[in-house]
Structure 1
Amino acid sequence: MRRLRTGLAALVLAGAGLAATLPAGTAVAAGVPTTAAAACATDWGSQSKVSTDTDYKPLRDIRTGRHDCFDRMVFDILGADTKGPIGYRVGYVDQMHQDGSGDVIPVAGGAILEVRVAAPSYDPATGQPVYDGKAKQPLPGVDLTGYRTFRDARFGGSFEGDTQVGLGVRAKLPFRVFQEGNRLVVDVAHAWRGFR
């Protein structure tokens, strides 16, 4: 009996390690064992998250990925990986209003997570676009088919150095935001179960 419990514990830990090592953009393959209760337990919460320190480098790309416990959105920032700060404000809103005009941007889903990143979609020195997002349109190159949490992703625009994105999610769920090198990462959990 003790061997069985030890073996099961090893499988759970191995599964958790697999889930933690999947890079952004990696789809979880069918048949891969998951350990949702152990691997998904966090204290992310659903309150707004803010960081005001920033180097204001331009946005290069926005991409998404699926993981065992969460869906992920990654903002790639131009420039060398200097670990300079990337400012952001991420929080749930009832409606998304475009900066500058105040126009409502419809975003599908049970809840809207508004993501503001201190990285313009244009080069501040030249004014030339570096990211091809169009206001009120889906993010270019982002296909959310098959995602458990993400439902829609709309480009709000870039205004006064900030880029605005509306992320439609299934419901108001826990999320986290963190910087990894020259990338800003937004993870939204698949469920509240296992989360505080």
Structure 2
Amino acid sequence: MLTISRRRLAVAAALASLVAPVGAAATTASATAAPTASASSTPYCGIFWGSLPKQSASMTTAPVLGVRSGMHACFDRVVFDLGRGSGRVGYNVRYVTEVAGPSGMPVPLVGGAKIQITLHAPAMRTVPSSGVINYTGWQTFRQLKYVASFEGFTDFGLGVRARLPMRVFTLTNTDGGQRLVVDVANFW
């Protein structure tokens, strides 16, 4: 009987030594894997925009009247104000190696990455009046330049710190005017 008890104790001890490391390893592996998975799936400020081109083929007769910019906690924003006119404002906003006007000539722009913004709307004058806005001390924006307006299309170049996620959308004012909004995230 003493022999059977010793055997049972030996088997129980052997099983306990085998089970404990496997259980501890499983606990350690799941504890280290969980933060990695959740950290990689949590985007900066909840932004899921991406950096691929954004476009809408619609066209408007509403003229580009002005441009304004704002800094937000998670992104920098530029807003193009349009007057009243028929149709919806269309756009083509994309990262490019060099911003170019209708002539095909490159437009020098400050920034690590460049965004060409084409509004499917005419401009009756240079917007802004100086043609350039420099963004000193901004998180993402570096420079905005009016490029040209030709045959109902108006081009701007936006210099940014790096290729970052962006989104583009349009809004309608209560007076019938329109706005094109371009947001560029501060980080990925």
Common fold, TM-score beyond 0.5?
yes
Offset of 1:71 from its aligned partner?
0.3
Identify, as 1 or 2, the structure richer in strand.
2
Aligned to 2:67: 62
Count of aligned residue pairs for this structure pair: 142
Offset of 1:104 from its aligned partner?
1.1
The CA distance in 2 between the partners of 1:185 and 1:178, in whole Å, is 5
Q: Residue type matched to 2:81 in 1?
A: D
Offset of 1:119 from its aligned partner?
1.7
Aligned to 1:168: 159
**Mapping 1:112-151, distance limit 5 Å:** 112-122=114-124, 129=125, 131=127, 133=129, 137-138=131-132, 142-151=133-142
Q: Describe the superposition over 1:107-166 as per-residue Cα deviations: whole angstroms up to 9, x where unpaired.
A: 1100001100112111xxxxxx374556xx41xxx4512210001111111011111000
Q: Which runs of no fewer than 5 residues in structure 2 stay unpaired?
A: 1-41, 173-177
Aligned 8 A contact 1:178 1:186 in 2: yes
Q: Which runs of no fewer than 5 residues in structure 1 stay unpaired?
A: 1-36, 123-128
Q: Describe the superposition over 1:88-109 as per-residue Cα deviations: whole angstroms up to 9, x where unpaired.
A: 000000011111x211100110
Offset of 1:44 from its aligned partner?
0.5
SS in 2 for 1:40: helix
Q: Residue type matched to 1:183 in 2?
A: R
Aligned to 2:98: 95
**1:189 and 2:185 matched:** yes
Offset of 1:79 from its aligned partner?
1.7
Q: 2:47 aligns with which of 42, 49, 63?
A: 42
Percent same amino acid at aligned positions?
Answer: 42
Q: Residue type matched to 1:174 in 2?
A: P
Residues 148, 130 of structure 1: alpha-carbon distance in 2 compared, 3 angstrom cutoff:
closer
Aligned to 2:106: 104
Residues 169, 39 of structure 1: alpha-carbon distance in 2 compared, 3 angstrom cutoff:
closer
Q: Which has the larger radius of gyration?
A: 2
Q: CA RMSD in A?
A: 2.1
